[in-house]
Amino acid sequence: MSGGLSAFDLVIFDWAGTMVDFGCRAPVAAMAEVFARRDVTLGEAVIRADMGKGKGDHVRAILARPEVIAAWTAAQGSAPGEADAETMMEELGPLMRDAAAEAAELIPGAADAVAALRAAGLKVASSTGYTREMMAPVLARAAAQGYQPDHLVCAGETPAGRPSPLMIYRACADLGVWPFARVVKVDDAEAGIQEGRAAGCFTVGVVASGNAVGLSLAAFEALQPEHRATLVAEAAARLAGAGADLVIDTVADLPAALSESRQGHA
C-alpha cells in the first residue's frame, strides 16, 4: 500500500463549496428564487439536503418532498408534475448562471493547492451539478484567478449524475487515467462523496467551505471559535458518514493531507 501524492494520478474537484463560492451560497439563492416565483417558500435546509446532484435532479428531489408537495398544492391548486420541473429548469438556468458568476471567487488557497498538485505530476479535473450554461461565467472568472482544470464534466452530460459515478468515468476516460484507486474525488456534498465511492476513488470531504456548514467566508470567520468547531465537526461527521476517506477544512489543506495519507480504503 503506497502513500502520499505518488499514490495518485488525478484529482477531480467539485466546484461550488469546494473550489469557489465559500459556503456554497449561490445554488441556494437561485433555487429559492425559482420556487418563490410560484409562491412556495423553501427553507435553506430543504434546498441543501440534495445539494451536489445535477440541478434537474435537485429540482425533482425537492418537488418530491411531502412538505413541498403540500405547499405547492396550496399555492398552485394541484400537485407539481414533470412539466413544472422542466419549466423551472428553464428559468433556473439564467438564475443559477448569474448567481454562480457572482459567487465565483476562489476558496482561499485553492489556486496554490492546484499548483502544488500539478507540480507533483497530478492531473486536475472537475465536475459539477451546474449545467454547461451555468458554468460559462464561472470558468472565465476562475481562469482569471488562476484556476483552469484540465477537464470539466457538467450536469446533463452523462446518462446519470451524482451520486452515480458516470461523471468520474467520463473524466478518467477522456484523460486516460486508471485505475480508479489512483483517482481522488474532492467534494463538499454527500452526493459527491457517494459518487467517488461508487467509482472506487479515494474520497476527500471538504467541510469548512462547503454545503454542510453553508456560511460565507465572512460569516464563518465571525463565529465564536467554539461554535465554528462544532459546525465543522458536524459537517465532517456527515461527509464521513457518506464514505469520505479523508476530511479537510478547505482545499488549501489538500496537498499536505494527501502527502500524509496512506492510500487504501474499504
* Residue 174 a catalytic site member: no
Q: Which of 9, 53, 55, 185 is catalytic?
A: 55
What gap in Å lies between CA 9 and CA 237, rounded to an integer?
27
C-alpha cell, 156: 446533463
Residue type for 87, please? T
Q: Are 127 and 53 in contact (CB under 8 A)?
A: no
CA gyration radius, the chain: 18
Strand partners, 205: 187, 247
Q: Measure the N-to-C terminal CA separation of the chain; round to a whole number of Å.
A: 13
Is residue 98 among the annotated active site residues? no
Q: CA 61 to CA 63: how far, in whole Å?
A: 5
- Sequential DSSP letters for 132-155: HHHHHHHHHHHHHTT---SEEE-T
> Where is 31: in which H helix or E strand?
helix 26-36
Q: Decide if 68 contacts 46 (C-beta within 8 A).
A: yes
Residue among 14, 21, 188, 249 flagged as catalytic:
14
| Backbone φ/ψ region at 121: left (φ over 0), alpha (ψ -120 to 50), beta | left
H-helix segments, 64-109: 66-76, 82-102
The packing angle between helices 26-36 and 55-63, to 10°, is 50
Q: Which residues are catalytic?
A: 14, 55
